[in-house]
Amino acid sequence: MSNLFSGISGRFRGGGKNGGTKSPGPPNGAQPTSPTGTLQSSSSSTNLAPRMPPLPSSPSLSQTLSMDDSPGSLPSGDALSFYNLPRPKPIWLNDSYAKHIVKGNFMTLSARPKTVEQGEWIAHQVVEHYRNLWNFVRVIHDKDEDGTSICNSQTCPRMSAGANHSFTWLNARKEPVEVPAHEYISLMQRWISGKVDNTAIFPTDPAGVSFAYNTGNPDIASATYASGGLNTPGSNTPIPAGPTALTTSLSQLAGPGDWVGKSSGFPVDFVEVCQTIFRQMFRVYAHLYWAHFIDPFYHLSLEKPMNSCFSHFVLTATEIDMLKPHELEPMQPLIDLWAANGTFPKESKAYACANLKAGERLLSLAGVN
């Protein structure tokens, strides 16, 4: 993944409002207590939803966004009516704007090598996808000369993904509270960094961690290390080969009295922590699409890199059981579209989670036969 998208980081140089590359700092006095707040679905609080910027002065784009703006555009029984989508629909639900910078089968990037233990593979995916996501977050959190950022308390007063979904954070008393999106994302960043840097969760002692020894290319071997670092010392202890089927569940990989990652030194709650990390990253992606796809990502020609990273993220997260089908709901229409247009292979779990009729409906609205 890091090799395939190694050129993406360069696309961000000069991005954002002033071309900086600063990571968002945590809000004053805020503490990353817990990210396990609830998902709220509501279609009535539209006044709190993030405001979309004015449409770019592009005739083709305006026509695309208004392709279903007529009252009778969604007949009764339409496959998309279940989603209660806004009108016009988001631009990223048009196949023309859901393209990628790469072509090929993303399953090859999500498949675990036979010599890599499952816990090591999950840890590697956590770090790699977090790095990819943070490139996009930096764009919306980069501050202009006046001290404002694209994502702020005024534009995004709550962490939401459209008008139908919002997310809460748990405060110190374990109470779900709504916070502005930029604050939620900063708390999430601090929480994830704290987990990844915690050697009790992501062990970094080579004496207690086994990983594949690759004499031909040591960089590949070290890249599979739990912490995701590229300079991890080598080891001569091979990893026992486990089940190679991509559809093998985590419960099948771990036997009685065992757990995923145990042989590599990961704790018993390792998978649960990683699932929470993936869930938080998914929520951030959802906010980026619903609130910021046009401004700044489309305006900066970064929509294809983001599509590439997000589709790979969904494919990987579902394959290694980091996301459950119901957790995909905020971005379900895009998942449907990618299943229908062939982005997700038919043998993938992401494809199995999709509503093909809805995806085919989106393709037909975009004029794709």
Which positions ≥6 away from 28 have C-beta within 8 Å? none
The better pLDDT of the pair 62, 290 is held by 290
Q: How far is CA 279 from CA 191, 275, 323, 345, in A?
A: 13, 6, 6, 22
| 285 confidence band (pLDDT: 50, 70, 90) | very high
pLDDT at residue 78, as a whole number: 83
158 exposed, middle or buried (CB, 10 Å; 0-12, 13-18, 19+)? buried
Q: How large is the average pLDDT for residues 326-330?
A: 96
| 16 confidence band (pLDDT: 50, 70, 90) | very low
Q: How far apart are CA 42 and CA 44, in angstroms?
A: 6
What's the pLDDT tens digit per position in 253-270?
555 568 999 989 999 999
The residue whose two tokens read 């993938």 is 348
What's the pLDDT tens digit per position in 78-100?
889 889 899 899 999 999 999 99
Q: What are phi and psi of 191, to 5 degrees?
A: -65, -45
Q: Is the pTM value of this prediction over 0.85?
A: no
Q: How far apart are CA 269 and CA 281, in angstroms?
A: 19
Cα 168–Cα 174–Cα 175 angle in degrees, nearest 5: 50
pLDDT at residue 269, as a whole number: 95
58 token code pair: 């592009």
Q: How many residues does the chain have?
A: 369
Average pLDDT over the chain, rounded to an integer: 76
In this predicted structure, the answer to whether residue 151 has a pLDDT above a threshold of 70 is: yes
pLDDT at residue 14, as a whole number: 47
pLDDT at residue 111, as a whole number: 85
Q: How large is the average pLDDT for residues 24-44?
A: 52
Q: How large is the average pLDDT for residues 192-205?
A: 90
